[in-house]
């Protein structure tokens, strides 16, 4: 990574991000120079203040000109100098691949998470930063806070963290990160489970599917069990109803009538939801 004179370099560490849900110590924001990608910066900055975390913007050089590769673009210089983001540091990546660039910064700084904008069309992140968001969620191996097109600029002044759970072991991956973020945001937790109304086995006692997950979230967490054939829409509607600060989910779970296909839910909820979406891959905890 390179940083010109006058720009605060990122604080490097030899300790890679662990596979446990620690309090975020570093928030990494991928930027491509567009105004849309910069929508993540105020949200990331607010989180960095709340968690007392480092804030690093990473820009991938999209050129083969070595003289330009090492130069901090003017828009990034101005962003770092902005008094609204006193924690913000910046670097230009040596690697042209944006996912590799993000991964390098994540694994060079302790307890990192990623915060980035995405349109989330189709799959998570096929616009704004290309398919970068999709691959960051899938490959980098840390929680990713996705800022969709309808996300409020100041989302954390309001209601609870809405934690999505389909009853599968894979969905458990979100529980500890959700607890950490809810504690940091000083927000209550609402665990939501959506089951298909034609799934008669689940309909007999739908909350029993998520009772272990609810217990693991600690005292004060409550459950919302909803019958619906469109899980993503039910989650979005609940987030609006509760004025949610954040939606948290695992990106994979069971398939079938009684279970949510969490990958597609993550995409739709990020695209249509009113607040950031904290996404975690189940393999985040498999190391």
The helix (run of H) or strand (run of E) holding residue 68 is helix 66-69
Which ranges in the chain are annotated with CATH 3.40.50.620? 26-147, 155-285
What is the per-residue pLDDT across 143-170, written as a single tens digit (0 to 9) for each? 999 999 999 887 887 799 999 998 888 8
What average pLDDT does the structure give for the chain?
82
Distance CA 197, CA 211 (A): 19
37 CB-contact burial (10 Å; exposed 0-12 / middle 13-18 / buried 19+): buried
DSSP codes joined into one string, 180-237: HHHHHHT--EEEEEEE-TT-HHHHHSGGGGTHHHHHHT-TT-EEEEEE-S-HHHHHHH
Class of domain 155-285 (CATH, top level): alpha beta
Q: Which residues of the chain have pLDDT under 70?
A: 1-20, 61-70, 120-130, 200-203, 253-263, 283-287
The predicted pLDDT at position 229 comes to: 86
110's tokens: 């302790």
> Residue 122: CB partners within 8 Å, gap ≥ 6?
267
Distance CA 154, CA 61 (A): 30
CATH superfamily for domain 26-147: HUPs (3.40.50.620)
172 CB-contact burial (10 Å; exposed 0-12 / middle 13-18 / buried 19+): middle
The predicted pLDDT at position 51 comes to: 96
What is the per-residue pLDDT across 53-78, written as a single tens digit (0 to 9) for each? 999 999 876 545 455 555 788 999 99
> Residue 151: CB partners within 8 Å, gap ≥ 6?
39, 43, 273, 274, 275, 276
109's tokens: 């700084």
The helix (run of H) or strand (run of E) holding residue 47 is helix 40-51
Please report, in angstroms and rounded to a whole number, the separation of the first and last CA atoms in the chain.
Answer: 27
Per-residue HEC secondary structure of 73-89 comes to CHHHHHHHHCCCCCCEE
**Between 40-51 and 175-185, two packed helices, what is the crossing angle to 10 degrees?**
80
107's tokens: 């694994």
> Residue 199: CB partners within 8 Å, gap ≥ 6?
257, 258
The predicted pLDDT at position 16 comes to: 37
The predicted pLDDT at position 156 comes to: 82
HSE-up of residue 274 (Cα within 13 Å, Cβ side): 21
């Amino acid at each position: 990574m390179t940083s010109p004179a006058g720009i605060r370099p990122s604080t490097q560490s030899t300790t890679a991000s662990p596979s446990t849900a620690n309090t975020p110590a570093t928030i990494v924001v991928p930027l491509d120079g567009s105004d849309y990608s910069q929508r993540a910066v105020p949200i990331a900055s607010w989180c960095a203040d709340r968690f007392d975390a480092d804030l690093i913007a990473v820009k991938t050089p999209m050129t083969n000109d070595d003289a330009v590769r090492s130069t901090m673009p003017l828009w990034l210089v101005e962003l770092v100098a902005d008094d609204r983001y006193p924690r913000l540091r910046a670097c230009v990546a040596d690697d042209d691949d944006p996912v590799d660039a993000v991964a390098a910064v994540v694994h060079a700084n302790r307890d990192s998470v990623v915060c980035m904008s995405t349109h989330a069309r189709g799959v998570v992140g096929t616009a704004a930063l290309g398919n970068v968001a999709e691959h960051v969620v899938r490959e980098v191996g840390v929680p990713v806070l996705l800022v969709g097109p309808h996300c409020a600029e100041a989302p954390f002044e309001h209601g609870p963290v809405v934690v999505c759970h389909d009853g599968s072991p894979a969905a458990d991956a979100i529980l500890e990160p959700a607890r950490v973020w809810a504690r940091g945001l000083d927000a209550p937790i609402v665990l939501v489970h959506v089951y298909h109304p034609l799934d008669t086995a689940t309909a007999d006692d739908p909350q029993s599917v998520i009772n272990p997950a609810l217990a693991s979230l600690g005292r004060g967490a409550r459950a919302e069990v909803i019958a619906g054939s469109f899980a993503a829409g039910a989650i979005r509607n609940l987030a609006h109803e509760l004025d949610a600060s954040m939606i948290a989910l695992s990106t994979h779970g069971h398939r079938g009538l009684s279970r949510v296909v969490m990958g597609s839910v993550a995409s739709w909820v990020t695209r249509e939801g009113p607040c950031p979406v904290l996404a975690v891959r189940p393999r985040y905890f498999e190391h």
